Amino acid sequence: MAEQTAPADIADTGDDPHRPDAPGDSGASGNSGGSVGPDGSEPAKSDAAVVRDALGVGVAVGLSGFAFGVTSAGSGLTVLQTCVLSLMVFTGASQFALVGALAAGGNPFTAAAGAFFLGVRNAFYGLRLSQLLALPRAVRPFAAQWVIDETTAVALAQPTRRAARIGFTVTGLTLYLLWNLTTLLGALGAEAIGDTDAWGLDAAGPAVFLALLAPMLRTTTERAVAAFAVLLGLGLLPVLPAGVPVLVAALAAPVVLYAEGRRARGNGAMSTGRKGTQGDSRDDADARNDSRSAPQADIHNDAYNDTDNDAPREDR
pLDDT tens, 113-137?
888 888 888 999 999 999 999 999 9
So what's the pLDDT on residue 15? 42
With beta carbons less than 8 A apart as the criterion, state whether 234 and 254 touch.
no
- Residue 42 is predicted with a pLDDT of 47
Which of helix, strand or coil describes residue 166?
helix
Spatial distance between the Cα atoms of 204 and 211, rounded to a whole number of angstroms: 10
* Rounded Cα gap, residues 114 and 147, in angstroms: 19
User: What pLDDT, on a 0 to 100 scale, did the predictor assign at position 285?
Assistant: 59
Q: What is the pLDDT of residue 284?
A: 62
| Of 128, 132, 168, 163, nearest in space to 150 by CA | 168
Residue pair 74/196 in contact (Cβ under 8 Å)? The answer is yes
Q: What does each of the 316 residues of the chain score in pLDDT, given as a tens digit?
A: 444 443 343 333 334 444 444 444 444 444 444 444 444 444 567 889 999 989 988 888 888 888 889 888 888 889 999 999 999 999 888 888 888 888 777 788 888 888 888 888 899 999 999 999 999 999 999 999 999 988 998 999 899 999 999 999 999 999 999 999 999 999 998 877 766 566 665 566 566 667 667 777 888 888 899 899 889 888 888 888 766 777 788 888 899 988 888 888 888 776 666 665 565 556 665 666 656 555 555 555 554 455 455 544 444 4
State how far the Cα of 222 lies from the Cα of 226, in Å rounded to an integer. 6
